[in-house]
């Protein structure tokens, strides 16, 4: 069980000791006021022990041992997407809060069950990406909130490439259900849109698979063929509860393009947003008063990184206030992504069931490692 005390810093136990864990360990250092890594676990216990030694943790555990550790208040779930939901449920049943990498779950139905379990046990759930809490997207959010482009009326989001099989050492899973460009990269773009514009009301979309088979061009599986079992080109229109409409394309079928990555359009101007997979980047503003693109200095810290959402959840637990990178937000994004495929199959617009509030904006001007 977790400690009864909610005093900061809260103890974090990591389940899943792959490469992404290093980013969390590194970027959590300035956030030591809020979170403290105490242990890690992996299906390969030797990997957990090596990771614990690498980052100065006292314990490298089996998953069962970590879940029984009273020093662990929050489980940071960095497992493969296929078991995100299962591990979250195990953490909740052990009395731990849980924060997971994206996606929150494979299906909306699965995610709803996890949220109900958390609510029953009065525990918190969090979900990446927390890049939306970084300097880039939060600066865009502030511009919108301050009325710099008037009322938001439209947006465009494009993640288009020819897939990861040319460079990724193990690209097979990208082309299976629960992955593809939509579930792999979509959370960065969709969570950014919800952060800036509020919740999605409906989805209209077409999903296609242009190439039935892929050939790996990287070692160690160079030349191996991959059967594609999930849509690899997803093009849709999102209607937001606030009235804005976004055109979204997530594709692994495009060799080259000249489309904007992420832009928001209003009655008085437009914003070019930075890469939503990063915490910083250039923000460009065009208004009818200036009639020119102007680079806007970041209003929020751009030096932060992964673990910001985790720390914000710990701070929310201690302060008894909602956290921003929440399970509810993660589930909303899963439902939107699932609805791309459902709308394509049904040939009609799909209404979004989950009703969430737009996450609170981060305070502007905070120093690195500070949440208030």
Angstrom distance (rounded) from CA 41 to CA 16: 6
Q: 39 preceded by cis ω (within 30°)?
A: no
Residue ranges of the chain whose pLDDT lies below 50? 1-4
**Closest listed residue to residue 137, CA positions, set 304, 369, 327, 310:** 304
The tokens for 136 are 């880039």
**Closest listed residue to residue 74, CA positions, set 95, 89, 104, 54:** 95
Angstrom distance (rounded) from CA 331 to CA 176: 20
Angstrom distance (rounded) from CA 2 to CA 151: 45
Domains and CATH numbers, the chain: 10-127 (3.40.50.720), 132-300+334-351 (3.30.360.10)
State the residue for tokens 């773009």.
189
pTM exceeds 0.85, yes or no: yes
Write down the pLDDT at residue 60.
86
Write down the pLDDT at residue 6.
65
Write down the pLDDT at residue 1.
47
Interacting residues of 287 by C-beta distance below 8 A, sequence separation 6+: 148, 149, 268, 269
Q: How many CB atoms lie within 10 A of CB 332?
A: 25
How far is residue 58 from each of residues 29, 38, 52, 66, 307, measured CA to CA in Å? Answer: 17, 7, 7, 12, 20
In this structure, is the dihedral angle defined by the CA atoms of residues 346, 351, 355 and 361, taken in order, positive or negative? positive
The tokens for 232 are 């690899």
**Closest listed residue to residue 31, CA positions, set 291, 345, 367, 299:** 367
**Closest listed residue to residue 288, CA positions, set 194, 150, 165, 181:** 150
CA torsion 247→284→364→241, rounded to 10°?
Answer: -20
């Amino acid at each position: 069980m977790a400690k009864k005390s909610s005093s900061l810093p809260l103890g974090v136990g990591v389940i899943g000791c792959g490469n992404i864990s290093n980013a969390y360990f590194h970027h959590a250092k300035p956030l030591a006021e809020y979170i403290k890594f105490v242990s890690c676990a992996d299906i390969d216990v030797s990997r957990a022990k090596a990771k614990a030694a690498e980052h100065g943790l006292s314990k490298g555990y089996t998953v069962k041992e970590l879940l029984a550790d009273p020093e662990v208040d929050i489980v940071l779930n960095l497992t493969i997407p296929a078991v995100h939901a299962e591990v979250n449920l195990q953490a909740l049943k052990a009395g731990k809060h849980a924060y997971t990498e994206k996606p929150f779950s494979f299906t909306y139905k699965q995610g709803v069950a996890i949220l109900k379990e958390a609510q029953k046990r009065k525990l918190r759930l969090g979900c990446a990406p927390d890049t939306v809490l970084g300097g880039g997207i939060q600066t865009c959010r502030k511009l919108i909130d301050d009325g710099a482009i008037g009322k938001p009326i439209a947006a465009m989001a494009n993640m288009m490439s020819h897939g990861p099989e040319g460079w990724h050492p193990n690209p097979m899973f990208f082309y299976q259900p629960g992955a593809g460009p939509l579930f792999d990269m979509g959370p960065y773009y969709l969570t950014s849109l919800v952060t800036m514009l509020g919740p999605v009301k409906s989805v209209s979309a077409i999903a296609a698979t242009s190439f039935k088979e892929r050939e790996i061009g990287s070692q160690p599986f160079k030349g191996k063929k991959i059967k594609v079992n999930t849509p690899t080109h997803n093009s849709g229109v999102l209607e937001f509860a606030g009235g804005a409409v976004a055109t979204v394309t997530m594709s692994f079928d495009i060799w080259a393009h000249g489309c904007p990555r992420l832009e928001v359009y209003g009655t008085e101007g437009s914003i070019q947003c930075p890469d939503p997979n990063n915490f910083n980047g250039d923000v460009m503003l065009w208004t009818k008063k200036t009639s020119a693109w102007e680079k806007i200095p970041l209003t929020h810290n751009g030096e932060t990184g992964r673990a910001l959402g985790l720390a914000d959840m710990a701070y929310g637990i201690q302060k008894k206030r909602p956290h921003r990178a929440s399970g509810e937000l993660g589930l909303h994004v899963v439902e939107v992504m699932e609805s791309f495929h459902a709308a394509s199959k049904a040939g009609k617009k799909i209404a979004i069931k989950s009703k969430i509030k737009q996450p609170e904006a981060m305070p502007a001007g905070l120093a690195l490692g500070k949440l208030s």
